[in-house]
Structure 1
Amino acid sequence: MPTTAPSVCHSRTELAGHLSELGVERNGVLLVHASMRAVGPVSGGAGTVVAALRDALGGHGTLVVPAFTPENSDTSPQYRDRVRDLSDHDREAVRASMPPFDPATTAAPSMGRLAEAVRLAPGAARSNHPQTSFAALGPLADELVAHHHASCHLGEDSPLALLYKVRAHVLLLGTGFDSCTAFHLGEYRVPAPPRRTYRCVVTTRGRRHWWEYEDVALDDSDFAVLGAEFARADDGAAVRSGPVGSATARLFAFTDAVDFAARRLPSLRKERA
């Protein structure tokens, strides 16, 4: 009978070596989007990948991940998918069951296992935005997430602006450019970006209620195209690619991605319209 070859189980040492070979800077700041499925079997799971990332970053490096929570909003694509075929009565039941955001306890299941492992790690800090919070580990963690204005998802009053300031890098670990959060800061930096209304469940003085606010209309629908152009720019010099575990990883400067998005998005969206 034919046999299936056993899957390789990646180790912390192996993954840290791959990350260093890719170019992860020691003592730097790294924003990571990761697919554990793409990385493959890992001894110790997502916690081992977090440890390998911190090994590659060194003792003075800081690891940052998105900890977004679209599950507590009725203006998110996730909510619309969830209630698409429900009656009005059942939709209201869903809305009534949504728990308010709590930065200390609210999970971020749509962000994946690695992001959750960072969020739950001892010493992790998390920003307070009820929809687009970030979690961080390392010496700059508190500083990077401390000032996240409630009416600014991913703009100048969010951790992304500070990541730009400290010249962080971005690691797409088995994910595509469609998940590149850095591009969103570029959306805020185009002239007169469109705006829209958002709504989510929060707690104020112990009382659960819906909160509505206006912010830039976030749109990642063309990020894959934008990322492909970014990866080809300057003969591919801006993006380094290589294996990390079983995944293909891409590493690039946060500032390069934001600046490219701010320059290219207006014409790209005009072409799409």
Structure 2
Amino acid sequence: MPTPPLTGPLCTRESLADDLLRLGVRPGETLLAHTSLSALGWVSGGAVAVVQALLDALGPDGTLVVPAHTGDNSEPSAWRNPPVPAEWWPVLRASIPAYDPLTSPSFGVGVVPEAVRTWPGALRSANPQTSFAAVGPAAATITAGHARDCRLGERSPLARLEKAGARVLLLGAGYDACTAFHLAEYRIPGPDVENSFAAMTSQGRRWMTVRERSICEDGFVELGAAFEKEAVGAAGETAAPTAVVRGLVGAAETRLFPLADAVAYAERWLAQNRPRQA
């Protein structure tokens, strides 16, 4: 087979850090990053270099937060990619390893979050499906108290990030990956669902079912586009604090914006544009 062509530009730890600072990342801030390594170009050092660049840009007083979700720890009858035979379901419920913040690998969120999860000094929240990992002075505050029956709501790191004045960095990722929008789902009327996973308790491993808010990414791309249009319109040419700042980091189209502003806009938009469910 022919060797596939290289895709550039060539990115290094130093060039990525420079790009992040030029975009507007501020030393000392708290940043929730959603990332696509492949969107950046050819990265010398791969995911590790990306994490180093993010930490360099944030400096010793800044905190980096990433989703470290484990969506594979879930009810097997609901699996669709791929579905599994019904006769497997009881075996899977009995054998899926219990969530362990130290050892459970992240799933479906990319290689950069997995690098952060295993980073020296990283802390990780306790929800068996939608944990977040963090490195930096605010890591303990951000990751503490993540309830099992609150994936992305008021008792999750998202609410703590909002309180901390964090910003969201979509580094080659789209608005469909913006977990902050889910916090808004918890603040508007919506249905609850049963949610199952393997967890470790004082009695050992248990297959648990909790009831909590139904969440989904339907409409997030349109929501993000509307939020960006309004934010840019409000900012004009001055890039006001509420603006969505856009630019390139490596080859990746990147967006940077305040998490609280995104959540507040999403509350209004979802209430108006998402069909109500019983």
C-alpha deviation, 1:44, in angstroms = 1.0
Contact 1:74 1:80 in 2 (8 A): no
What SS does structure 1 have at the residue aligned with 2:42? coil
1:145 aligns with 2:143: yes
Amino acid at match of 1:212: T
Query: 1:72 & 1:219 partners in 2: Cα distance?
Result: 17
Query: Which residue of 2 is the match for residue 81 of structure 1?
Result: 81
Distance 1:258 1:6, change over 3 A: closer
Equivalent residues in 2 for 1:1-273, closer than 5 Å = 7-74=8-75, 79-83=79-83, 86-190=84-188, 192-205=189-202, 207-236=204-233, 237=235, 238-270=243-275
Are the structure 2 counterparts of residues 116 and 206 from structure 1 closer, same or farther at C-alpha, using a change threshold of 3 Å?
Answer: farther
Structure 1: how far apart are the matches of 2:105 and 2:15? 29
Query: How big is the shift at 1:207?
Result: 2.4
| Alpha-carbon distance in structure 2 between the residues aligned to 1:49 and 1:76 | 36
Distance in 2, Cα, partners of 1:155 & 1:80: 25
- Which amino acid in the other structure matches residue 33 of structure 2? V
Higher mean displacement: 174-183 or 95-104? 95-104
Verify the 8 A CA contact 2:77 2:86 in the aligned structure 1: no
Displacement of 1:4 in angstroms is 5.4
- TM-score by structure 1 length? 0.92
Deviations 1:147-191 (A, max 9, x none): 11221111111111111111100000111000101101111122x
Report if aligned partners of 1:169, 1:253 keep a CA contact under 8 Å in 2: yes
The structure with the largest helix share of the pair is 1
Measure the CA separation in 2 of the matches of 1:6 and 1:166.
38
For the 8 Å contact 1:62–1:139, the answer to whether it is kept is: yes
SS in 1 for 2:88: helix
Alignment partners' CA distance in 2, 1:132 and 1:234:
28
Count of aligned residue pairs for this structure pair: 267
Root mean square deviation of aligned Cα: 2.1
Q: Which amino acid aligns with 2:45?
A: G
Given the superposition, is the C-alpha separation of residues 80 and 92 from structure 1 closer, same or farther in structure 2, using an over 3 Å criterion?
A: farther
Which whole-Å CA distance do the structure 2 matches of 1:112 and 1:68 have between them? 10
Q: What is the DSSP-based 3-state SS (H/G/I as helix, E as strand, rest coil) of the residue aligned with 2:34?
A: strand
Letter in 1 for 2:193: R
Percent sequence identity over aligned pairs? 46
Does 105-114 or 66-75 show the bigger shift? 66-75
Offset of residue 89 of structure 1: 1.5
Aligned equivalents of 1:251, 1:197: Cα separation in 2: 34
What TM-score do you get using the length of structure 2 for normalisation? Answer: 0.90
Q: Does the Cα contact within 8 Å between 1:75 and 1:200 map onto a contact in 2?
A: no
Q: How many angstroms apart in 1 are the aligned matches of 2:57 and 2:107?
A: 26
In structure 1, the residue corresponding to 2:152 is in which secondary structure?
Answer: coil
The answer as to whether partners of 1:11 and 1:43 remain within 8 angstroms in 2 is: yes
The CA deviation at 1:8 is 3.2
1:122 aligned partner, one-letter code = P
Tell me the secondary structure at the aligned position of residue 72 of structure 1: coil
Q: Which consecutive unaligned segments of at least 5 residues does structure 2 have?
A: 236-242
